Structure 1
Amino acid sequence: MKKIPLITLALIAVLFTTSCENEETFVDNNTVTNVDPNFRVTTANGNTANQRMSYDEPCMTTNLIAGQNHIAGTVSVDFDGVDLIITYTTNADWSIQATHLSIGNCADQTIPTTGSGNPKIGHFEHSTNHNPDVDVVTYYIDSAALTENYCFAAHAEVNGPTGGETAWAEGTDFDGNNWAMYVEALLSDCNVDNPETER
């Protein structure tokens, strides 16, 4: 029987381990990458009024700006007492092809950026491809992983009347030389008022 050299076995082990690091999870036709146990994602199409949890009002809502000049929808933040809930919702003429979300404590400057201050979207912790396009994407992030002052960058690839566009939740400009934005917020701005699920 031919023996396999030890170095070959070590190489196989390294290759197997590396191939498992960037696993993708398929949910229906949506691909969720960089799966993290502190978050989950859902999507929806059509009228969203009765597809999301109902709160008196979100903690905050900001515009989803596409191509720098178009309001393609909104990005809202809710809180259910456990999870921070970030929802992308498009207007009637727009749909979402992909979403990328980075969230963390503002003091830690956790949103990945280049040396010149532009966001590195490919390194955002949470990414989802949507095939076919969807109207609503909701991320649930365990609030225990955040401190009072948190920041998030919500990016999307959208399709609309002007064709395919990149889109950002409206907020503060990054230091770089593009129009990318991030949002700074406080957990204490969110009050839990016994949300009820409408069906």
Structure 2
Amino acid sequence: MKTKLFYLCLGVITLTMASCESENNSDSSVNNLAAKQNEVVNSTNVNLPDFSPCVTTDLLAARRFDAGEFRVYFDAEKVYVEYETNEDWYIRETHLYIGDQELTPLNRRGEPVPNNFPFGGVHPDGEQNVVYSVSKSTLPKCFSISANAEVYFVQNGEIALVETAWARGERFTQTSWGMFFDVCQSSCW
């Protein structure tokens, strides 16, 4: 009986380790993507191109609040993405995926996992404008963008709401409201 229990425990430990190893492999592909696209810059000191954005979509908080806009710009060398909130909304955290759609970090149900997106930042003082830039040479001709943020709404000087926000696009699944949209470089530059 003790031998059977020993082998049962050994089997559970082996399965657990194998499961962790496959999760680490998917994390490493995301880390490799981040290393490949290491020219991401987060901040308000990035100068956006002096022309109109190629794509503009809503930044939706809690599926129903218009918290701002998400924009995509191109210049000769880079793609710029901009989160900009409306007057009383602020950004606490951002998560960004930009690249081949099939490499988007998803869970087993096909829902996006923003904490595993290769780009992002924490904005403890609350920002209303966050910009990232990525070298065009690291991206395919057509690619997907999935932009997530934690935002909050200020009313009478107090935080009244804290919500998850997504740049409006197509939903990954019907059960999740995580979204993405596609962009082709030839359409924008």
Normalization by structure 2: what TM-score? 0.74
Decide which structure has greater helix share. 2
Residue in 2 aligned with 1:97? 92
Q: 1:103 & 1:53 partners in 2: Cα distance? A: 18
Q: 1:78 & 1:114 partners in 2: Cα distance? A: 29
Listed as ranges, the matches of 1:1-199 within 5 Å are 37-43=38-44, 52-106=47-101, 109-160=102-153, 162-175=160-173, 177-191=175-189
Q: In structure 1, list runs of 5 or more residues that go unmatched.
A: 1-33, 45-50, 192-199
Shift of 1:37: 2.0
3-state DSSP of counterpart to 2:41: strand
In structure 2, the CA distance between the partners of 1:115 and 1:142, relative to structure 1 (3 Å rule), is same
Residue 182 of structure 1 aligns with an amino acid whose one-letter code is F
Q: 1:54 & 1:104 partners in 2: Cα distance? A: 21
Q: 2:130 & 2:181 partners in 1: Cα distance? A: 17
Q: In structure 2, list runs of 5 or more residues that go unmatched.
A: 1-33, 155-159
Q: 1:53 & 1:168 partners in 2: Cα distance? A: 21
Q: 2:174 & 2:104 partners in 1: Cα distance? A: 13
Shift of 1:54: 4.8
3-state DSSP of counterpart to 1:144: helix
Q: What do residues 65-112 of structure 1 show as CA deviations (whole Å, max 9, x unaligned)?
A: 001001100000001211100000000010000000011123xx1110
More displaced stretch, 149-158 vs 161-170? 161-170
Decide which structure has greater strand share. 1
Shift of 1:39: 1.5
3-state DSSP of counterpart to 1:92: coil
Shift of 1:55: 3.0
Normalization by structure 1: what TM-score? 0.70
Q: Is the 8 A contact 1:172 1:181 kept in 2?
A: yes
Residue-pair matches, total: 151
Q: Determine what percentage of the aligned residue pairs are the same residue.
A: 31
Q: 1:155 & 1:84 partners in 2: Cα distance? A: 17
**CA RMSD, aligned part only?**
2.0
Q: 1:175 & 1:80 partners in 2: Cα distance? A: 33
Residue 119 of structure 1 aligns with an amino acid whose one-letter code is P
